[in-house]
Structure 1
Amino acid sequence: MTDITIKTQPSERSKFIRRFLKRKTVAAGMIVLVLFVLLAIFAPLIAPYSPSKLSIVNRLKPPSELHWFGTDEFGRDVLSRTIYAGRLSLLVGAAVMSLSAVIGVTLGLLAGFFKQLDTPIARLIDAMMAFPEILLAIALVAALGPSLTTVIIALSVVYAPRLARTVRASTLVIRELPYIEAAKALGISTPHIMTRHVLRNLISPILVQGTFLFASAMLAEAGLSFLGLGVSPDIPTWGTMISAGRQYIGQADWMTLFPGFAIILSVLSLQMVGDGLRDMLDPRLRRDL
């Protein structure tokens, strides 16, 4: 008898992941991003000290074996505070991305699918995008009062128009395709067409825009915290750490160097992952890979 060897073909998902991670920049971005996520999740186990532990005797100590990133003006360990600050930045980024997606996708679908709603929603999107993003965020936080919830809501309102414009533009094209007309002729309900036939074809641009919104939200949160409009000063954030360290530049550069480096690495890793997703999910760019 002859042996029959059955070769299993790799699934489309596994092939996509392999092609996605084949690019060195994307792989590096994913490694850095996963590292930040793990540090945030296991911060109580990884951080050598409590982020709020004061030690005036050890204030403004340079990096050493006991304090790898040095200490701040109150003797708190900069490494521990940098690790804990990453938890808040990732939380804000994920929350803003999710809430912006809900608002932006809803507005974009309504504007792109219903012609009578297109003009008013499109004008609303244009009006919101006419304001500089950071100034609009500052105005909203100042009006509502600084807090974590306020920061998330303000940044979601600021970044939702980006996604809404992308979804609207794609929906305007999809709604004219033959299979949408066929679904309408068959009597399929409008909500079913919008979710099953339109929204499913928008997953790719939404994912790509989501990664960029994540990075932008983390950067904006750091900016608001730097200006004193973020969360409570008792909670460590990269922005508040840089703000506190600016008056000690030249005397204790490590207070701004390490949290600033953390912001750069996290935002850059998200941008690299977003670029990789865009290249893989766009058929025109994928042919060139």
Structure 2
Amino acid sequence: MISRFLVTIRPLLRNRAVVIGMIILTTVVLAAILAPLITPYAPNKLSIVNKLLPPSAGHWFGTDEFGRDILSRAIYAGRISLLVSLGVVILSTILGVILGVAAGFFPRLDTPISRLLDAMMSFPDILLAIALVAALGPSLVTVIIALGITYAPRLARIVRGSTLVLREMPYIEAAVTLGLPTRQLLLRHVLLNLASPILVQATFVFASAMLAEASLSFLGVGVSTDMPTWGTMLASGREYMNNAPWLMLFPGLAIVFSVLSLQLLGDGLRDLVDPRLTKER
């Protein structure tokens, strides 16, 4: 099993960009998991006498307007960002697979589901997310629900297109002719063949959700302000960007590198799933 796994990921390891993305993402995830052990200060520890200190040996990323350590807050903020993004990926994948398979496999459901997806995708992602958060109330759970609903149509469209192709395959028609129950048909022959495109799209949704969560927090409609997030750190640092640019620099870099790592990994997975894309470049 291990040898088969190594053979599968070997093309990914040959891609330098993918390796860089995996290293960055692994670093972010490990930092978030080990936050209580590696952070030098508590993320919400106030020290007014040390406010707005520039990066130094005592505070590698400097301090904010309340004397809180930027490095500690940035690491703990990564926990919130990863948690929200993972929840969004799980929820949007479940909704997207259900809607996509239903629309692609059952012709009677195709038109109403497709019109629903078109209506949802006609709104910009961030505006739809803001509207849903405003309706549900700002909190960690509602942000996950709002973004999960927002990004579900992306996955649903991919799943629907792939299901339409699979439905016309000879082995699917043969299984239907032999009277295989629909449930077994969907689980054994459809969903298993959808795993690769779903995995690829999930990496892009993960990156988009991370950026959207930061945007919502920046606008003040995200998770509770008691929790450090990269978006709230950017928002609070706007007032001091001329005198203390490190308040926005380090949270901004955390967002950029995290999203970039996921995009690089997603591109590598897409090339692995469909090698024709690599030849066309």
TM over 0.5: yes
* Residue 52, structure 1, aligned to residue 44, structure 2: yes
Q: Equivalent of 2:248, from 243, 256, 273?
A: 256
Kindly indicate whether residue 107 of structure 2 is the aligned counterpart of residue 111 of structure 1.
Answer: no
Q: Which residue of 2 aligns with 1:29?
A: 21
CA distance in 2, matches of 1:212, 1:276: 11
| 1:254 alignment partner AA | W
Q: What code does the residue aligned with 1:180 have? A: I
TM-score (norm. length: structure 1): 0.95
Letter in 2 for 1:132: P
1:211 and 2:203 aligned: yes
Query: After superposition, what is the alpha-carbon deviation per residue over 1:16-65, rounded to whole angstroms, capped at 9, x for unaligned?
Result: 21211111000000000000000000000010000010000000011111
Amino acid at match of 2:237: G
- Please list, as runs of the form range in 1=range in 2, the aligned pairs for 1:1-289 lying within 5 A after superposition: 11-285=3-277
Deviates more, 1:12-21 or 1:67-76: 12-21
Distance 1:242 1:41 in 2: 22
C-alpha displacement at 1:186, in angstroms? 1.2
Distance 1:285 1:192 in 2: 32
- CA deviations over 1:223-257 (Å, ceiling 9, x no partner): 00000001111110000000000000111100000
Look up the SS of the partner of 2:239 in the other structure.
Answer: helix
- Which protein is bigger by CA-based radius of gyration? 1
Output the CA distance in 2 between the equivalents of 1:60 and 1:177. Answer: 64
Report deviation, 1:286: 5.6
Amino acid at match of 2:184: H
CA deviation profile, 1:67-103 (whole Å, cap 9, x unmatched): 0000000000000000000000001111100110000
- What are structure 2's unaligned runs of at least 5 residues? none
Q: Which runs of 4+ in 1 moved over 6 A?
A: none
Q: What is the aligned partner in structure 2 of residue 6 from structure 1?
A: none
Unaligned residue ranges in structure 1 (runs of 5+) = 1-8
Q: Distance in 2 between matches of 1:106 and 1:225?
A: 30
Code of the aligned partner of 1:122: S
* Root-mean-square deviation over aligned CA pairs: 1.4
Tell me how many residue pairs correspond in the alignment: 281
Structure 2 distance, partners of 1:58, 1:118, is 61
Alpha-carbon offset, residue 200 of structure 1: 0.8
TM-score computed with the length of structure 2 as normaliser: 0.98
Cα separation, 1, equivalents of 2:256 and 2:11? 26
